[in-house]
Amino acid sequence: MATKKVVNASEASITEGSAQTQYTKGQFVTSNRFSTLEKDVLAGLMQEDKTYTLEQANKMLAQFLTKEAF
């Protein structure tokens, strides 16, 4: 069984090589990896009590940014 690794706030640097590492919403929002717009989108889409991989965050962004506006 695979275990998930949750990185603490002092290790908030989110990198490409850490695709399986789990991060909190707060870590994504304070990361230098994403633009201000992307951080705002992630802050609105992510839940406080869950952790996400970099791959999940990128997928969430892609789905949101490709939605048709009403």
Instruction: Return the domain boundaries, the chain.
Output: 21-65
Length of the chain: 70
The torsion angles phi and psi of 51, rounded to 5 degrees, stand at -115, 155
- Per-residue pLDDT tens for 13-67? 666 655 589 999 999 999 999 999 999 999 999 999 999 999 999 999 999 999 9
**Residue-by-residue DSSP string for the chain:** -----BPPGGG----GGGTTSBEEHHHHHH-SSS-HHHHHHHHHHS-TT-EE-HHHHHHHHHHHHTSPP-
Asked whether the whole model's pTM tops 0.85, one would answer: no
